[in-house]
Amino acid sequence: MPSRPRVCYGVALSGSAAVTVRAWRSSGGTVRQAVLTKGETAARRSAGGLAESARSGDVTVGCLAVQESLTLWLNSPLVSRAKAEKVLPSLLDIQLPFPVEDCMYRFVEFRRTPEGTISALVCAARREAIQACLERYQAQGTDPMLLDHEGLALWTQSLVERPPAESRRGPAPYRVLICLADDHATLVIGCGERYGNAHSLQMPSSPMSNDDLVNRLQLILHADLPAGVGVQWLFCGARAGEAAVVDALYRSLTSVWPGTLTLIEKPASFLARALCVRALKRGPLRCNLRQQTFTHPAVRRAADGRARAAAVGILIAGILLAGFSLTSRLLGERRFNRIKSEIAAVAGELAPGVTIPYGREIPEVQKAWEKQVSQTAPFIDAFAPSLAVRLAEVIKAGQASDVRFETLSLRRNSLILTGVTEDWDQCGQLEQRLKALGYTVKLERQEAVAETEVRFTVNAEGGGP
């Protein structure tokens, strides 16, 4: 069974008859439904029934009748939900008239009370009742994979098909759903969207006995509803189409609890639709009482398959992690070794015949290179810019500045000039021109005393070709 099936068959038993609805989830998530005719149901049974469905990934859902099970709100004194979940089975055991070990139960909703403690809704049924229910389904030629609860299914589907009107003032309105099947009536009581309780009554065999049904209904409702409160009355089930029955019940009940009457459309298939919608879509109060020893083989196989797939996934992830780690480590070491061998090769080429200890490549190669460089430097120097060019540039700068050099001493990266000029500012022009050549210039000028000319000395550094 897939974790989220796309096609579902909801089968609701009503007396000796079964109502089957086929529902499927479209790509947009919308659930579409169709009631199977008797012929279609028979054809499905003959085609393999559930076994066929299980193979195809479809799901068949049944439900346990309210009369065979119970729903109960348990109030724990604990604030922590985790702790409450541990003590709730013991509280359930106290409430049950039979040992909790003899029944299957599911906690379907947790709420926090105004006092802050945890309140839980539990759905429980005796193992014998579940076994009997499954046998009834098998007698109808079907074996449901999931076993839902009738009361919960009716309640949630009523919220889906008839959402409660939003009440901004006062408390949420009460809602009572009465499902009139051929052989029994199911009463589901809630307030707003909160499920309250569900009850089951035998349907009278003759219409003349409706008063007895009304009396029993009122008896139950007096226990759950305050007198005089407004109630939204909903009717569904195979006999909801009998107007006389519905009218009689509605008139009698509204005399105590006034309220509107709502007849569910297609009331006969309401429960089957509810089962389908709950199986196909996520939502509140979801319940499957077919657990542990009652688990359907297809469900167990699917769970095993998921567990196996998860284990294989983890195994593959582990293998990939280990593989990537090993590969990464090998690639890193390979790269490191390649760089080391490149270093050794280059160092060996630069310092042939020298034994180079590991990690001492640079000092040893530098030592060897310093020996070689003095023998080859003059060859590379021959291609450096000529000092004669710089001499020509300095002479040109002097001519442009209209100064006369007396001595000129030029070396690579240094220049010393002495000379005379007619004007104090012409030395400044020379200084600027030498700076433009890249020199750092130190200019000294001597005031003309006996002569008319200004003597100057230039010490310049840098700027060498």
Residues binding other proteins (CB under 8 A): 304, 307-308, 311-315, 317-322, 324-326, 328-329, 332-333, 335-336, 339-340, 342-343, 346-347, 349-350, 361-362, 365-366, 369, 372-373, 375-383, 386-388, 391-392, 395, 404-412
> Which residues contact residue 173 at a Cβ distance below 8 angstroms, ignoring those fewer than 6 apart?
164, 165, 167, 191, 192, 230, 231, 232, 259
CB of 43 or CB of 315, closer to other proteins:
315
308 φ, ψ (degrees, to nearest 5)? -65, -45
Could you tell me the smallest distance in angstroms from the CB atom of residue 444 to other proteins? Answer: 19
CB of 258 or CB of 297, closer to other proteins:
297
CB of 95 or CB of 291, closer to other proteins:
291
CB of 346 or CB of 436, closer to other proteins:
346
The token duo for 155 is 């309640």
Could you tell me the smallest distance in angstroms from the CB atom of residue 310 to other proteins? Answer: 8
Q: Which helix (H) or strand (E) holds 225?
A: none
Could you tell me the smallest distance in angstroms from the CB atom of residue 257 to other proteins? Answer: 54
CB of 43 or CB of 345, closer to other proteins:
345
Could you tell me the smallest distance in angstroms from the CB atom of residue 300 to other proteins? Answer: 10
What are the Cα distances from residue 206, in Å, to 16, 212, 460? 18, 11, 130
What is the rounded distance in angstroms from the CA atom of residue 29 to the CA atom of residue 366? Answer: 75
CB of 48 or CB of 313, closer to other proteins:
313
Could you tell me the smallest distance in angstroms from the CB atom of residue 298 to other proteins? Answer: 15
Could you tell me the smallest distance in angstroms from the CB atom of residue 130 to other proteins? Answer: 23
> Which residues contact residue 461 at a Cβ distance below 8 angstroms, ignoring those fewer than 6 apart?
413, 414, 415, 439, 440
Q: At what angle do helices 270-280 and 150-161 cross, to 10 degrees?
A: 90
CB of 247 or CB of 406, closer to other proteins:
406
Could you tell me the smallest distance in angstroms from the CB atom of residue 64 to other proteins? Answer: 28
Q: At what angle do helices 38-46 and 49-56 cross, to 10 degrees?
A: 80
Using alpha carbons, select from 150, 163, 180, 175 the residue that is nearest to residue 247: 180
For residues 268 and 19, the answer to whether their CB atoms sit within 8 Å is: yes
